[in-house]
Amino acid sequence: MTRRGIKKEPPERSPLSTSTSVPATASSASNNMGPPSKKPRNEDTVDAQSVAVSFIRSHAPSAETRHHLVIDDDQEPIYLERRLCGVNDLGGSPISSQAADTSFAHTSFSHPTFTNIGVKLREFNNTVGSLQQLGVSHVAELPELVLVGDQSAGKSSLMSGLARVDLPCSAGVGTRCPLHIRLIDASNGHWSCTVALQLDYDFEPKGKIKKSDVTANNPFPPWVKKSHRDNKIFKTIFDPTEIEDVLRWAQVAILNPGNDHELYIPGEGAIAKTEDLAEAARNSAAQFSPNIISLEIKGPELPGLSFYDLPGVFLSPDQEEDEYIVRVVRNLTSHYIKREGAIIMWALPMNHDPENSISLGIIREAKAAQRTIGIMTKADKLAPENKTQWLQMFHGEKQSVGHGFFATSRPPGETLESASTWEQLFFARERATGDTWPIEFEKFNHRCGVNLLSEYISVQLGNAFAKSLPTIKGKVYTRLREIEHQLEGLPEIPYNVEHEVKNSLYQFLGRMKTAIKDSEFSSRWNTLNNQFRDIIFQIKPTCRVKEPQTQTIDLSDADTEVSAVTPSRRPRPSDSTMRGTPNKRPRLDEVPVTPVKNESFSGSGVFHASPVVSTGPTVDHGPFVSFRNLGRLAMDIRDIRSQVAKKQRPGMPRDLVPDEVRESLCLDAVKKWREPLEKYIDKTAELLEAIAHEALEESLGVLRRRLIFRECKSHLKEFIDELVTDQRVRLSEIYDSETYQMYVLNEDTFTRYRAQELEQLRRARAIFRLKGAALIEWSYEIKRPEEMSNEEKDREAKILNQQLPKLGRDPYDTEIEVAAFVRGYYRTAAARFVEGVTMNVNSFLFRRIGSTALDMFMDRKLGLFGQSGKFSPNTVSENFVLQRYFNRTERVYTPHGRGRKDRELA
């Protein structure tokens, strides 16, 4: 160990005062409101060990020994203690004794050993920028610089000066989403800028947004936080003049998350080539985004710096419907300011009253004033009468912030070089014309100008990272241990991977073939078939029987439901009616209103309708319940009469109904099957997917965390989707056949159904007419025939036989016959349709599942078969490629030899 004396240089000439020197701590630098002192304080020097990337002690004096070396008297020499290290700075070989006995030049401040401290500071800042781009804040909070300010605070010009590039200063860039700018000193001397989109939020619009929608739990509607960050490279440019155009289009891309961002790349994307930029910006899907546009700028002599630029906060939007954006921008600013590691750069213009700053209020609410650097912009706009107020702020007497204030002046519209020269002359009070910097501020010249501000914030960011590095490292290692613990829970790799996977897949394919024949699945599918059948018969067209001057009987639901709608005033019978009416009207037992008919299914496969009226809806229609009223009031006897009259040729008898009228009514009735059929196909597909998932879980459940499980699940869904698409086409053809034209081959069944429907309609019509003529009680309602006793049936038949002749022939008898024809045909076609649909699903869709179609499909996707073409769990084929799914894992060796685990790669 040797000692050498070095004469201490004046502070202003020390390399430690430059941007490449040892950074000053936040506490000393922030409190330096006056001229710099002649003697640096002890805490102004950071231990080189704490800032070294390799964590190896450098040749600079350490924090432990420095207090022994500082001499208060400026004229006294400083003795530096030089220690021998086991390894050199770069982690190389041990230092030899010859290397230890070096000349004075090797220990002077001009030696690269000391200037490397500034290089390491730059490396720190570059590392911070890299970590910020990776989005690891959920693991460890990183130190960061955040530029905030009100609208029109001069942030754009300030940002251009800090980034050393001409960024756009007009409205429209950086005002509708945050910017992250990272500056890197390029060793090759070439300038480049890579623009990327950092997507932390998903766009989920749910109608028009109101101010009340912006809450603490939903701070940025309609944007929702994602579980991870997506980084999308937008464009890399090599000409600084292109940066404005690229930035504007990047903002349009980030505000249209539903479109591929590549569509907006200038000079390449289809939208950027064909649409005007201003028009594209106006038509953006979102008005604002919390997602980030990232700029990684590399160039010669750039400071190692990274910072966020946030949209300017404001109070009133241009449009009333955008009031919510005021709160959203405020929430975004508060979100960044509240981060404990954030160093706030608060921009406030000197031509405005600082007491009206909205940003200052947000800073104080977050209790972040001590982490704030005040930046007075537009210094050339300072009004002489306001000098006292701003001097007080420089002295820390008003709007005090922890790091004090800097002043800048960057005239808009100037190039970067011109603006820098203009600013230097302005603060040096050397401008020939115009306003100059007041002489009262001369003692704060060490805090004036963007260049000095850039050096200061670079040092502050490096200091913050150096101090937080142990904490960050600890959190990363803690998270790493958590992940390793989770990995230990993963199963070991099978001894024979191919055999295990093949065997599991063999079981899966076999399980799929038997699953569709299991009683459980058959029961579930049969229930769906019954519900489909019931809803098809439920929507049989009902008929409204109504005459203009009388009451209405609604023949609705699945059969001849009769609703006796009692008029507001009971009609007074005519004299002729009274003469034919006994003194006491016949009274029949009252029964409840009976809206739904009971339909039964015979063993022969033909649906038979009981000529009765049910007591209410007892059928569970399941997923088809929303269709139960499709056939309600589909016909009206007056409409039928109108259609017959339109289609009859002159001179034809009124009772002769043209065939086209009957066919038109029949086809209109069956066309209502489209929606129930689509629902049936969807529900059948859901059942199939459910049993497929169950089979997959039973057979490959042990490989659930493996890529092979996800691949099989994806391929299986693709296979089912293809089958269901083909099945949908087949069923659509059946539907088209039914709606193409009326077709009856089984005339016996049709004749029987028509007779049943005609009997029910005539019975209902007869009771309607008798009520209208006041020949029976108004309270009379129809009972289901099977619910009536023989005496009740005889009594009703006797009354109908006695009273109906008094009314004469029914004027709507022909229309009643047509309605019965339509309903009879509907029942005949419905039985044929339901049976055809369900049989087609069974013979095509389920048969394909039970055949080798699935085996062949999985073979194309995964390579399951050997050269023989037969699948066997014992087959080991050279072209078997399932091993690749295990090769797509990362092998992790756990500490202390506890065995190896696999970690799937993202």
- Residue 170 phi/psi, 5-degree rounding, is -80, 165
Say how far apart CA 187 and CA 189 lie, in whole Å.
5
Yes or no: say if 406 and 447 are a contact pair by the CB < 8 Å rule: yes
Contacting residues for 283 by C-beta, under 8 A, at least 6 apart: none
Q: Are residues 413 and 524 in the same domain?
A: no
Each residue of 610-636: pLDDT tens digit?
333 333 445 567 899 889 888 888 888
Q: Is residue 10 part of a domain?
A: yes
Res. 905: pLDDT tops 50: no
Element (H, E) at 506: helix 497-515
Residue 303 lies in a domain: yes
pLDDT of residue 156: 84
Domain termination site, one of 117, 132, 166: 117
Q: Which one of 65-69, 153-157, 357-361, 497-501 scores highest in mean pLDDT?
A: 357-361
Amino acid present at 636: D
For residue 247 the two structure tokens come to 């930035």
Which residues, in sequence order, are CB contacts of 133 under 8 Å at separation 6+? 180, 182, 196, 198, 231, 294, 296
For residue 461, what pLDDT band results from cuts at 50, 70 and 90?
Answer: confident
234 and 274 both lie in a single domain: yes
Distance (Å, whole) CA 178 – CA 147? 10
Element (H, E) at 27: helix 26-30
Report the number of secondary-structure helices (H) and strands (E) in the chain.
Answer: 27, 18
Q: What is the pLDDT of residue 508?
A: 82
Residue 701 within a domain: yes
The answer on 306 and 224 residing in a single domain is: yes
Token digits of residue 184: 């890197």
Domain endpoint, select from 448, 463, 493:
448
CA distance 616 to 628: 13
Domain with 284 in it: 143-448
Task: Please enumerate in sequence order all residues whose Cβ is within 8 A of that of 58, keeping only pairs 6 or more positions apart, or say none.
Answer: 48, 49, 52, 89, 113, 116, 117
Please state the rounded mean pLDDT for residues 39-53: 38
Query: Does the structure show a pLDDT above 60 at 647?
Result: yes
- The DSSP annotation for 157-191 comes to HHHHHHHTS----STTSSSSS-EEEEEEE-TT---
Asked if residue 147 and residue 101 are part of one domain, the reply reads: no
Specify whether the CB–CB gap between 563 and 556 falls below 8 A: yes
Q: What is the pLDDT of residues 103-142, one digit of tens each?
A: 333 333 334 433 444 555 566 666 766 665 665 655 667 7
Asked whether residue 653 is assigned to any structural domain, the reply reads no
End of a domain among 448, 467, 486? 448
Report percent pLDDT > 90 for the chain: 32
State both tokens at 111. Answer: 């030696």
Of residues 550, 543, 564, 605, the one with CA closest to residue 758: 543
C-alpha dist (Å) from residue 766 to 475, 555, 559, 613, 753: 88, 13, 16, 16, 20
* In a shared domain, residues 351 and 428: yes
pLDDT tens sequence across 652-671: 787 788 989 999 999 999 99
Mean pLDDT of the chain: 74
Check pLDDT > 90 for residue 554: no
Q: In angstroms, rounded to a whole number, what is the distance separating the alpha carbons of residues 90 and 53?
A: 10
- Residues 113 and 151 occupy one common structural domain: no
Q: Is 600 helix (H, G, I), strand (E, B) or coil?
A: strand
Residue 444: per-residue pLDDT: 93
Task: Among 126-140, 429-443, 752-766, name the most confident range.
Answer: 752-766
Helix (H) or strand (E) holding 451: helix 450-488
Count the Cβ atoms, other than its own, within 10 Å of residue 255. 21
The pTM of the whole model exceeds 0.75: no
Q: Is the pLDDT of residue 576 over 50?
A: no
Residue 839 inside a domain? The answer is: yes
| In a shared domain, residues 439 and 524 | no
Strands 292-299 and 179-185: parallel
Provide the greatest CA pair distance for the chain.
144
Distance of alpha carbon 775 from alpha carbon 799, whole angstroms: 9
107 and 153 belong to one structural domain: no
Name residue 758's amino acid. Answer: L
State the CATH number of the domain containing residue 420. 3.40.50.300
Is the pLDDT at 8 greater than 50? The verdict is no
Question: Does the pLDDT of residue 244 top 70, yes or no?
Answer: yes
Q: Predicted confidence band at 89 (pLDDT cuts at 50, 70, 90)?
A: very low
CA–CA separation, 525 and 533 (whole Å): 12
- Specify whether 42 is located in the same domain as 149: no
Q: In this structure, is residue 58 part of a structural domain?
A: yes
At residue 135, the pLDDT reads 57
Average pLDDT over residues 854-873: 63
Note whether residue 478 is domain-resident: no
Looking up tokens 């009680």, which residue turns up? 777
Residue 886: inside a domain: no
Q: Do residues 600 and 608 touch, judged by C-beta distance below 8 A? A: yes
Average pLDDT over every residue of 861-881: 47
216 and 349, same structural domain? Answer: yes
Is the bond leading into 222 cis (omega within 30 degrees of zero)? yes
CA distance 833 to 734: 8
Across the range 877-898, mean pLDDT stands at: 40
pLDDT digits (tens, 9 = 90+) for 371-415: 999 999 999 999 888 999 999 999 999 999 999 999 999 887 778
Q: Quick one: pLDDT at residue 431? A: 65
Residue 53: DSSP 8-state: T
> Do 82 and 163 sit in the same domain of this protein?
no
Return the pLDDT at 733.
Answer: 94
The residues, any chain, with a CB within 8 Å of residue 402's CB and separated by 6 or more, are 26, 30, 369, 370, 371, 372
Rg (CA), the chain: 44
Is the domain of 634 the same as that of 753? yes
Number of domains, the chain: 3
Average pLDDT rounded to a whole number, residues 454-473: 84
Taking the CA of residue 782 as centre, how many other CA atoms within 13 Å lie in the half-sphere pointing to its CB? 31
CA distance 630 to 558: 11
Instruction: Check residues 564 and 777 and name the one with the higher pLDDT.
Output: 777
Flag whether pLDDT at 898 surpasses 60: no
Is residue 572's pLDDT more than 60? Answer: no
Q: Tokens in use for 198?
A: 């950092």
Beta bridge partners of 6: 78
